[in-house]
A and B are shown apart, each in its own frame.
Chain A
Amino acid sequence: MITSLAQYIASFLLKNNAIDGKKLDIYIYGFEIIISGMVSIFIALMLGIIFSQFIECITFLVVFVFMRKCCGGYHADTYLKCNSVFAINLIIVMMILKLLLNYPLYMSLAISIFCVIIYALYAPIENKYKPIKKEARKKHKITAIILGILFSIISFVLYFKITKYSIVIDTALLSVALSMIIVKIKEGGDTNEECKEINTKSSC
């Protein structure tokens, strides 16, 4: 549905001479990114309202999006699965926030260290429909480690002020790390090598 909507918008723009026909695929891709991003934001906002944890949801989304941009990780094969996985992930985080009574400092530190190690080892997880150049791969790894450390420091500082935001940041970091581990387990060997084999499926 998202792909069809993106195609419709792009062809509407083409009919009205607002875009170059040669770049149609790029525009469709761009609109798919915008629409799917809007759906993710909508899900986060709705869950934030339902669980009365609006700012926490936004915080999770910000950390998650920044980390995923340089780390990559698990991708579903359809938008429905993608949004379901995202919603389930966010619901789990919201449940943790509601139910977790005691969050010791050592747990926060352990999660941060674990996540930074995972980023250092595996980032970026390349998607076979979105290959990354070798030089860009190094840049993504460094960015992932720096961002991971930065968010860990923010989480550490917030732990003493507003602990629940520390939990949100830690769970966002952990979600990204786990999605990377899932890919590694699923694909077994070297993901980067497998991703070079581009096949004909339209999405990943």
Chain B
Amino acid sequence: MKNVKKSILNLLAKAGLESALKAAGAASFFGYHQPKEPIILKSIKK
């Protein structure tokens, strides 16, 4: 059960990171609102 929880959390974390990386560098992502892009994201994308 603990392993299942851990895998779900890891999957969720991976989804968060992937979407942040995909959004980085794009002119816009999805709707009419744009959250502030973290500066650290650019260095990670390199």
Residues of A at the B interface (CB closer than 8 Å) are 3, 9-10, 13, 16, 18-19, 22-23, 25-34, 36-37, 39-40, 65, 68-79, 81-83, 85-86, 123-127, 129-133, 136, 140, 179, 201-204
Contact = CB atoms under 8 A, between A and B. Distances in A.
A81 B33 contact: yes
Contacts of B21: 30
Interface of B: 5-6, 9-10, 12-13, 15-21, 23, 25-38, 40-41, 44
A30 B28 contact: no
A203 B36 CA distance: 5
17 contacts: A18-B9, A19-B13, A23-B44, A25-B40, A29-B41, A30-B18, A31-B16, A31-B19, A68-B28, A75-B33, A81-B33, A125-B27, A126-B27, A127-B27, A127-B28, A132-B27, A204-B36
Nearest to B33: A82
A61 to B, nearest CB: 9
Given A33-B29, A36-B35, A130-B27, 9 more contacts: A16-B5, A19-B13, A23-B44, A26-B17, A26-B38, A29-B20, A75-B33, A76-B32, A129-B36
A26 B32 CA distance: 20
B35 A133 contact: no
B19 to A, nearest CB: 4
B11 to A, nearest CB: 9
Contacts of A78: 33
A76 B33 contact: yes
A29 B29 CA distance: 12
A30 B15 contact: yes
Contacts of B17: 19, 23, 26-27, 30
B2 to A, nearest CB: 11
B32 A82 contact: yes
Contacts of A33: 19-20, 23, 29-30, 35
Nearest to A123: B27
Given A37-B30, A86-B32, A130-B34, A26 B40 contact: yes
B32 A75 contact: yes
A30 B27 contact: no
